[in-house]
Amino acid sequence: MTSRRLPGNPVIWWDAYNAKSKVLDLTGVRWLASAALLLVLASGGAAAEDYPSHPIKLLVGFSADGGFDINCRHWAQRLSARLGQQVVVENRPGASGELAVKQAMAS
Protein backbone atom coordinates (compact mmCIF):
# COMPACT_ATOMS: atom_id res chain seq x y z
CA MET A 1 0.00 0.00 0.00
CA THR A 2 1.18 3.44 -0.73
CA SER A 3 0.84 6.53 1.37
CA ARG A 4 -0.38 9.80 -0.04
CA ARG A 5 -0.15 13.15 1.63
CA LEU A 6 -2.46 15.98 0.75
CA PRO A 7 -1.79 19.51 1.94
CA GLY A 8 -3.23 19.96 5.43
CA ASN A 9 -4.35 16.31 5.72
CA PRO A 10 -2.69 13.46 7.59
CA VAL A 11 -1.09 10.56 5.79
CA ILE A 12 -3.68 8.15 4.35
CA TRP A 13 -2.51 4.54 4.56
CA TRP A 14 -5.20 2.82 2.52
CA ASP A 15 -6.09 2.77 -1.15
CA ALA A 16 -9.78 3.50 -0.58
CA TYR A 17 -9.05 7.23 -0.62
CA ASN A 18 -9.98 8.85 -3.91
CA ALA A 19 -7.58 11.74 -4.44
CA LYS A 20 -9.65 13.32 -7.21
CA SER A 21 -12.89 13.73 -5.29
CA LYS A 22 -11.17 13.84 -1.87
CA VAL A 23 -13.64 11.38 -0.34
CA LEU A 24 -13.21 8.00 1.24
CA ASP A 25 -14.79 5.06 -0.59
CA LEU A 26 -16.52 3.00 2.10
CA THR A 27 -18.16 0.44 -0.18
CA GLY A 28 -16.03 -2.42 1.16
CA VAL A 29 -16.66 -1.39 4.74
CA ARG A 30 -20.40 -1.28 4.13
CA TRP A 31 -20.36 -4.77 2.61
CA LEU A 32 -18.37 -6.12 5.54
CA ALA A 33 -20.73 -4.51 8.07
CA SER A 34 -23.76 -5.89 6.20
CA ALA A 35 -22.29 -9.40 6.15
CA ALA A 36 -21.50 -9.23 9.88
CA LEU A 37 -25.03 -8.04 10.66
CA LEU A 38 -26.51 -10.83 8.55
CA LEU A 39 -24.46 -13.45 10.42
CA VAL A 40 -25.54 -12.08 13.79
CA LEU A 41 -29.22 -12.07 12.83
CA ALA A 42 -29.03 -15.57 11.32
CA SER A 43 -27.52 -17.08 14.48
CA GLY A 44 -30.54 -16.19 16.65
CA GLY A 45 -32.18 -19.59 16.17
CA ALA A 46 -29.18 -21.44 17.55
CA ALA A 47 -30.07 -20.55 21.15
CA ALA A 48 -33.65 -21.80 21.05
CA GLU A 49 -33.45 -24.07 24.12
CA ASP A 50 -34.60 -22.62 27.43
CA TYR A 51 -31.84 -22.13 29.96
CA PRO A 52 -31.51 -23.79 32.38
CA SER A 53 -33.33 -26.93 31.35
CA HIS A 54 -32.73 -28.81 34.64
CA PRO A 55 -32.58 -27.90 38.34
CA ILE A 56 -29.66 -25.73 39.39
CA LYS A 57 -27.32 -27.18 42.03
CA LEU A 58 -25.89 -24.81 44.61
CA LEU A 59 -22.89 -26.58 46.12
CA VAL A 60 -22.07 -25.73 49.74
CA GLY A 61 -18.70 -26.82 51.08
CA PHE A 62 -19.83 -26.95 54.70
CA SER A 63 -22.10 -29.18 56.78
CA ALA A 64 -25.86 -28.76 56.99
CA ASP A 65 -27.54 -26.60 59.67
CA GLY A 66 -24.62 -24.21 59.90
CA GLY A 67 -24.89 -20.47 59.41
CA PHE A 68 -23.51 -20.59 55.88
CA ASP A 69 -25.88 -23.41 54.90
CA ILE A 70 -28.92 -21.53 56.22
CA ASN A 71 -27.86 -18.42 54.32
CA CYS A 72 -27.40 -20.43 51.10
CA ARG A 73 -30.84 -22.02 51.47
CA HIS A 74 -32.38 -18.57 51.88
CA TRP A 75 -30.71 -17.34 48.68
CA ALA A 76 -31.66 -20.56 46.86
CA GLN A 77 -35.34 -19.86 47.58
CA ARG A 78 -35.00 -16.29 46.30
CA LEU A 79 -33.14 -17.45 43.16
CA SER A 80 -35.76 -20.12 42.51
CA ALA A 81 -38.55 -17.55 42.69
CA ARG A 82 -36.65 -15.11 40.49
CA LEU A 83 -35.52 -17.56 37.80
CA GLY A 84 -38.62 -19.76 37.80
CA GLN A 85 -36.35 -22.79 38.07
CA GLN A 86 -35.73 -25.07 41.04
CA VAL A 87 -32.46 -24.39 42.91
CA VAL A 88 -31.21 -27.35 44.98
CA VAL A 89 -28.72 -26.82 47.81
CA GLU A 90 -26.27 -29.71 48.00
CA ASN A 91 -23.87 -29.96 50.95
CA ARG A 92 -20.39 -31.36 50.28
CA PRO A 93 -18.50 -30.93 53.56
CA GLY A 94 -14.88 -31.91 53.90
CA ALA A 95 -11.36 -30.71 53.16
CA SER A 96 -12.31 -27.10 53.95
CA GLY A 97 -14.71 -26.95 51.01
CA GLU A 98 -12.33 -28.54 48.51
CA LEU A 99 -14.72 -31.41 47.75
CA ALA A 100 -17.43 -28.98 46.68
CA VAL A 101 -14.95 -27.03 44.55
CA LYS A 102 -13.75 -30.21 42.82
CA GLN A 103 -17.32 -31.26 42.04
CA ALA A 104 -18.10 -27.79 40.67
CA MET A 105 -15.01 -27.93 38.46
CA ALA A 106 -15.95 -31.39 37.19
CA SER A 107 -19.47 -30.36 36.17
Tens of pLDDT, residue by residue over 54-78, are 888 878 877 777 787 788 888 888 8
| Mean pLDDT on 21-33 | 67
What pLDDT does 61 receive?
77
| Mean pLDDT on 98-105 | 75
Count of domains observed in the chain: 2
What pLDDT does 53 receive?
74
Which of 26, 48, 70 finishes a domain?
A: 48
Residues 60 and 102 in one domain: yes
What domain range is 64 assigned to? Answer: 56-106
Residues 36 and 71 in one domain: no
User: pTM for the full model?
Assistant: 0.46
Query: To the nearest whole number, what is the mean pLDDT of the chain?
Result: 72
Residues 44 and 60 in one domain: no
Residues 5 and 25 in one domain: yes
Residues 31 and 62 in one domain: no
Residues 60 and 99 in one domain: yes
DSSP secondary structure string for all residues of the chain: ---B--TTSPPB-STTEETTTTEE--HHHHHHHHHHHHHHHHGGGGG-S-S--SPEEEEESS-TTSHHHHHHHHHHHHHHHHHTS-EEEEE--SGGGHHHHHHHHH-
Residues 42 and 69 in one domain: no
Residues 39 and 61 in one domain: no
